[in-house]
Amino acid sequence: MTSPITSSDIAVSVGGDKLTFRLHESGTRATEAVLFLHGSGPGATGLSNWERTIADLGDRFWCLAPDQIGFGDSTHPLDPPRGMGPFNELRAEALLALVDVLGLEKVHLVGNSMGGQLAILMTLARPDLVGKVLLMGSGGAPNMPVSPGLTHLREFYASPSAESLKGLLSEFVYDLEPMLDTVDRVVAERMSYVNRDDVRRSHEASFDPNGTRRFFTREELATITHDVLCVHGRDDRIIPVEASRYFADALPKANLYVIAQCGHWTQIEHPEKFETLLLALLNNQI
């Protein structure tokens, strides 16, 4: 049985600046809170990454899936930080402010791709606030090759179109044919955002070639003593599976689960398996 999803706007303050999150949620405050952090890409939102997951798990957890700052219907700064590294630092700080505004003393983190980087930044900054962590196809590992798919994502606005977006999202999945209806639906949903000037501004700032990126050293990761599960599609064409092998090796209490015949969209290509893994982590079964 799926749970209803509601959406609202939540204001936070970061460095004296007011930022607003569009927050999608299911479940109730009476249960443990799980914060779902979506990845990057043209038109990405909390719902486009996590709609099924939070609908499925809302009967057991308070599921929170915000549009990140610089995405969807959350705030798009007029003068955003240049580069994924500085922009993600702002995003992580804003997420911590959101957790405080919601009055949470402890929250589990689930991060997809860029969202994995945000989960790590949050855990490094406020370890006492974080429960368990699931990193799914996470970015932030050093010395990883830049895949053609990731290059397409970064340079999308050189020639933005529905056809280009469909081509990009096709690279997110292992086998397009069974996922075609899903990809077409997500393309239609995201194009309304892709065509907005503020969304383009945020995307181009994130992937500014003159900006800086953020990688996590083994020394940093060794300080994270939380239970972590690294999940990765074996056939990921956006971020190679070696990235999760790096995190699983460097994080003291991390386990690694690699899903065969799966690309970068683990939770969408294999939703039952992904939810089983997440529940096992949260219920101390793995």
Query: Which among 8, 66, 58, 9 is positioned nearest to 37, based on CA atoms?
Result: 66
Token pair 């959101």: residue: 98
The first and second tokens of residue 29, run together, are 């405050």
Do the beta carbons of residue 94 and residue 65 sit within 8 Å?
no
Q: String of b and e for 185-220 (b: at least 16 CB within 10 Å)?
A: ebbeebbebbeeeebbbbbbbbbbeebeebebeeee
Helix residue ranges, H only, the chain: 46-57, 84-101, 114-125, 148-154, 162-170, 176-194, 197-206, 218-221, 242-250, 266-269, 271-282
Of the candidates 24, 108, 152, 264, the residue annotated as catalytic is: 264
Q: Is 76 a catalytic residue?
A: no
Residues serving a catalytic function are 264
